């Protein structure tokens, strides 16, 4: 098992305190590896170190993190900004993620949470309701789709 696989395995097992120095060491050896920055940011996040996580997520994006990690990188970066009460940056980040990945539901859910944190409750509820309608397979909710859409579009 190489060092990256070891770090990923330890992180997956929830042992982020042990994984973090491994990712930092890997970054020291390969500073332009966007994936390493993404995972290092997540370790910081899991440890409640959102301020430190932000730089790693920003690096991951600027270093062109893999397409399969990019939507989650936007979620994580926006969430970190939100925890740090940087709501403008959180909204800017999550909205960029939604523009790039309009079908990735977690971005929309976090968009709702960030809108709520930014005191935009009507927009938050609207986004939540529309995301629910587009992602649910629950027939009991679907039968009220027209009414829910109406309410969502008329929230103030």
pLDDT, tens digit, 9 for 90 and up, residues 21-56: 999 999 999 999 999 999 999 999 999 999 999 999
pLDDT at 1 over 90: no
| Tokens found for residue 110 | 């976090």
How many other CB atoms are found less than 10 A from the CB of residue 15? 13
Q: At what angle do helices 16-29 and 3-12 cross, to 10 degrees?
A: 150
- Architecture (CATH level 2) of domain 3-97: Alpha Horseshoe (1.25)
CA atoms within 13 A on the CB side of 41: 29
Residue 94: which pLDDT band, with cuts at 50, 70 and 90? very high
Domain boundaries, the chain: 3-97
Residue 11's pLDDT is 96
- Tell me the CA distances in angstroms from 36 to 63, 128, 143, one per residue in order: 10, 32, 45
Please tell me the distance from the alpha carbon of residue 129 to that of residue 151, in angstroms, as a whole number: 9
pTM: 0.93
pLDDT category at 68 given cuts 50, 70, 90 is very high
Asked if residues 72 and 53 have their Cβ atoms less than 8 Å apart, the reply is no
Torsion angle of alpha carbons 114, 120, 126, 129, nearest 10°? 40
**Max CA-CA distance within the chain?**
56
**pLDDT tens track for 106-131:** 999 999 999 999 999 999 999 999 99
CA distance linking residue 28 with residue 139, whole number of Å: 52
Helix axes 70-83, 105-117, angle to 10 degrees: 10
């Amino acid at each position: 098992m190489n060092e990256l696989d070891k770090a990923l395995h330890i992180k997956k097992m929830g042992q982020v305190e042990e994984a973090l120095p491994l990712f930092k060491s890997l970054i020291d050896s390969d500073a332009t590896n966007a994936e390493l920055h993404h995972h290092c940011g997540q370790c910081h996040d899991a440890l409640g170190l959102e301020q430190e996580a932000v730089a790693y997520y920003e690096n991951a994006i600027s270093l062109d993190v893999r397409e399969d990690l990019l939507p989650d990188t936007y979620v994580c970066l926006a969430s970190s900004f939100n925890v740090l009460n940087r709501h403008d940056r959180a909204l800017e980040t999550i909205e960029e993620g939604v523009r790039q990945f309009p079908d990735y539901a977690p971005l929309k859910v976090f968009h709702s949470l960030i809108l709520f944190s930014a005191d935009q409750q009507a927009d938050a509820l609207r986004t939540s309701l529309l995301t629910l309608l587009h992602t649910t397979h629950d027939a009991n909710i679907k039968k009220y789709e027209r009414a829910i859409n109406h309410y969502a579009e008329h929230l103030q």
